Structure 1
Amino acid sequence: MNDYPGIEMNLAQLTRNSVKEKLSAKGTVLSMTVTFGRGSEIARVAKAAGFDSLYVDLEHSTIDLRDAGQICLAAQELGLTPFIRVADWRGADIGRALDAGAMGIIAPHVETAEDAREIVRQARYFPLGERSASPQLPLLGYRQFPVDDVFRAVNDATMVTVMLESERALDNLEAIADVDGVDMVFVGTYDLSMDMGIPGDVCHPRVRSALRHVVETCRRAGKFVGIGGMAGQPDELSIWIAAGAQFISCGTDLGFLIKGSTLAAQRIGEISSKVEQRHE
């Protein structure tokens, strides 16, 4: 007899990860990186813009964990899958990010299979890992369910993403991709190009060769592929989407703000200049 009527339905609804579902269905996921927004409004902006996901970047911003958690919870309620890129996966950042409301973590600067196994250990509950149990999870709306059911549902929903950003990581790619519990390998093309000594040249033949290697290796290992740092190169990006990259980091909220406001200022400035010239 089930002492918790509707538990299966409730847990399934509360922990549904639409990004994981879309990736499994071979769809392309569009994600916005949050580095500037501090309130839940940024989640509504991302939803209105048509993104599938957002990730709050704690590595390259001054956003604190409390604000990151509020953004994640707002995104979840909108049907937008929220992730957090942790600043340092070697400490307590992973567990705290997940406890705050993220439906997955992005771990930067992963270079070995040992790194990946440690990240999985911290991100997944027993029996897949050793994530510490929290008595109340915002992801579950602070509802109480049997611990075994929670562990199973949250493990299934949580995405573990490791970032590849160096040639050393490329050398260890097969072993990293084979680690159980890793869902996605996310290539930071800009940092990778810097490590290769060709900073910013994300279309360089060496970067292309690396991406081809990642896509092929992850396909064999059954892992998803993400790409960042290439939103400004749509023709190049289309090659890798066609090849099998599915999670696309489309840019930062601050970058969108700067680009949009600059374009608006230029357009109005041009109109003003034309009007002034007619009156000279």
Structure 2
Amino acid sequence: MRMDLFERLKSEEPFFVAWSTHPSPLLAAALGRTPFEGIVLDLQHGMHDEASAFASIAGISTEGKPALLRIPVGRNDLASRALDAGCSAVIAPMINSLAEAEAFAAAMKYPPLGERSFGPSQALRLDHAHTVGSYFKAANSETLALAMIETRAAVEICDDILALDGIDGVFVGPADLSISWTEGAKVDPDLPATQPVLADIADKALAAGKIPAIYATSPEAAVRYADLGYRLISAASDEQILRTGAAAILGRARLD
């Protein structure tokens, strides 16, 4: 049965997800067997293609975890397909205008809220709790549209994005935000000048009844973001998990 991700994210306890970049459905499913509560499949910067991402959704769901997917910039057609394949949430990068946020929301929601076409074939196979009719009635609330805030332009219209009925939350990209904030001078997810901005975005999302989500580049950053009120936090990528796990195992073996 599909987790009701929106209900889970109402909790003040942060929801930590792993970030899948390698195009291996088996590796994505293995991440689903770790303590991470959900897995994000990255089609923007990761090496996934559509085939590996959609196959990974099934494997992750089999492990009882929600699959989330980040689409490439402007690929709202893939947003709808990701939901049909069984994703619980879609993250849309580089939402820098209200028109872009509206187009993303329209692709994510059924009428009258949006313009999503009906055809959730794999989603229904993965979630036996739903019938065709119950899925149609519940999908707008159970599948989440997360618009990325990662530029000055997006920060300036953050209130307007959060006010859209079809947008369920915002997902902050601190690295790109630092690039935008310094006008291309540097990339620094921990840039001091953007830290008050990150806090303000979380406060605005919570005040609007929406989900504040963010990408953390370290466990320390994940803790800091949780303290700011972020509810959905990407805490590590598959490659980070492999490197860290290998170092811990070998360190212990050599010590013993």
- In structure 2, what is the equivalent of residue 7 of structure 1? none
For the 8 Å contact 1:19–1:53, the answer to whether it is kept is no
Write the mapping of 1:79-158 to structure 2, written as runs, cut at 5 A. 79-134=64-119, 137-141=121-125, 145-147=131-133, 149-158=134-143
> Out of 48, 52, 63, which is 2:33 matched to?
48
Letter in 2 for 1:209: P
Confirm or deny that 1:203 pairs with 2:187: no
Write the mapping of 1:1-280 to structure 2, written as runs, cut at 5 A. 13=1, 16-43=2-29, 45-134=30-119, 137-141=121-125, 145-147=131-133, 149-197=134-182, 199-228=186-215, 230-232=216-218, 234=220, 236-261=221-246
What is the RMSD computed on CA atoms of the aligned residues? Answer: 2.4
- CA distance in 2: counterparts of 1:37 and 1:255, whole angstroms: 15
Tell me the secondary structure at the aligned position of residue 72 of structure 2: coil
- CA distance in 2: counterparts of 1:163 and 1:73, whole angstroms: 25
Rate the CA distance shift 1:233–1:141 in 2: closer, same or farther, 3 A: closer
CA offset digits 1:125-154 (Å, max 9, x no partner): 1222111111x511111889454x332122
Which of the two has higher C-alpha Rg? 1
- CA distance in 2: counterparts of 1:110 and 1:102, whole angstroms: 20
- CA distance in 2: counterparts of 1:161 and 1:83, whole angstroms: 10
- CA distance in 2: counterparts of 1:102 and 1:71, whole angstroms: 10
Letter in 1 for 2:64: G
Percent identical pairs in the alignment equals 25
- CA distance in 2: counterparts of 1:232 and 1:175, whole angstroms: 30
Letter in 1 for 2:51: R
Letter in 2 for 1:161: L
Tell me the secondary structure at the aligned position of residue 33 of structure 2: helix
Tell me the secondary structure at the aligned position of residue 17 of structure 1: coil
For the 8 Å contact 1:22–1:28, the answer to whether it is kept is no
For the 8 Å contact 2:23–2:47, the answer to whether it is kept is no
Rate the CA distance shift 1:140–1:91 in 2: closer, same or farther, 3 A: closer
- Gaps (5+ residues) in structure 2? none
Q: Number of residues paired by the alignment?
A: 251
For the 8 Å contact 1:66–1:100, the answer to whether it is kept is no
**TM-score under structure 1 length normalisation:** 0.81
- Gaps (5+ residues) in structure 1? 1-12, 272-280
- CA distance in 2: counterparts of 1:254 and 1:29, whole angstroms: 20
For the 8 Å contact 1:58–1:64, the answer to whether it is kept is yes
- In structure 2, what is the equivalent of residue 275 of structure 1? none
- CA distance in 1: counterparts of 2:155 and 2:248, whole angstroms: 38
- CA distance in 2: counterparts of 1:141 and 1:112, whole angstroms: 36
Letter in 1 for 2:155: L
